[in-house]
Amino acid sequence: MDKKKVRDYMTYDVVSIDAQGTAKDIINAIRDTHHDGFPVIDNRKVVGYVSARDILFVYPHTPVERIMSRHLIVAAPDMDINDAARVIFRSGIQKLPVVDDENNLIGIISNADVIRSQIEHVSPDKVFKFIDTLRQLHDVDPALVRERVPINDLLPTQSKIYQDELEGRMYEIKKGLAEPLIVVRRPGRLVLVDGHHRAVAAHRLGIQELDAYIIEIDEDIELGLERTAREMKLSTLDDIKILDYARHPLVAVTHRLVRHS
């Protein structure tokens, strides 16, 4: 599959600060957008960056050019998303302005964008490993195709998903970046193996079909995943429970560690 680029995940509608402005303009931008930092531009060209901490103990009429940092790191739209991730996490910078060859501002890439690009990555190797498992468990010889599948016909095999990841998948689908689902198609049944967050996200957005790796089995056999779905009383995507942030197991563990430390 093609490597993911910064242009695939960056935000194009960027709030910026004019280099001829004052600290008051930064204060207003923070209040209006709830963002904590902004690229500074002069005739579309990026000349600096200002953050909320830069305006501490500064008079509102102070010129932006006296406050901004001129030592900024930028990204190009064709930059590999993994390279952008290295820059963001090694430098401690939360956002990188994205510029064209003439240093004109065209977008911004944040650490949250990078994280979204890495979650739920589906590789062909993952699909082939599952096919091998099916061969060993059921003595079948599945075929593999890649097609779009109707969302509402999928049988879910996972009883719960998390709200934070669901929001990430909705973001990706809106930008046309969703990874394929993994689905088993056997006579009369489409079994969703991987991609429950993506499927529910599409369902919520009113999208009828998603791209999928489809593992085809001609034999009319019940998979173990189907028995699990029946035991959990799952028949449609609406049966999946959506847990909020506070109930995510990682959050719960962190909370216990903090409380007892």
Q: Is the pLDDT of residue 120 over 80?
A: no
Q: Residue 138 half-sphere exposure, CB side, CA atoms within 13 Å? A: 18
Do 6-117 and 120-251 show the same overall fold? no
Amino acid present at 243:
L
Give the start-to-end residue ranges of the domains of the chain.
6-117, 120-251
Q: What are the DSSP calls for 85-108, one per residue?
A: HHHHHHH--SEEEEE-TT-BEEEE
pLDDT, average across residues 33-41: 90
Give me the mean pLDDT over the 85-91 stretch. 81
CATH 3.90.870.10 fits 120-251, yes or no: no
**pTM (global) more than 0.75:** no
**Residues above pLDDT 70, as percent of the chain:** 89
For residues 58 and 129, give the distance between their C-alpha atoms in angstroms, rounded to a whole number.
Answer: 59
88 against 145, higher pLDDT:
145
In the predicted model, is pLDDT for residue 202 greater than 70? Answer: yes
State the Cα torsion 41-14-121-75 to the nearest 10°.
-10
pLDDT confidence band for 249 (50 / 70 / 90): very low
Please name the residue that has the structure tokens 């009383």: 233
Whole-angstrom Cα distance, residue 95 to residue 239?
A: 38
User: Mean per-residue pLDDT for 132-159?
Assistant: 91
CATH topology of domain 6-117: CBS-domain (3.10.580)
Q: 70: exposed, middle or buried (C-beta count within 10 Å: 0-12, 13-18, 19+)?
A: exposed
State whether the Cα torsion 15-20-25-27 is positive or negative: positive
Phi-psi region of 194 (alpha: psi -120 to 50; beta: other; left: phi over 0): beta
pLDDT for 119 equals: 57
CA distance 225 to 246: 28
Q: What share of the chain is helix, strand, coil (3-state, %, to 5)?
A: 40, 25, 30
Q: What separation in angstroms does the CA of 92 have from each of 39, 110, 237, 241?
A: 16, 11, 39, 35
DSSP conformational letter for 61: T
Under the banding of pLDDT at 50, 70 and 90, the label for residue 223 is: confident
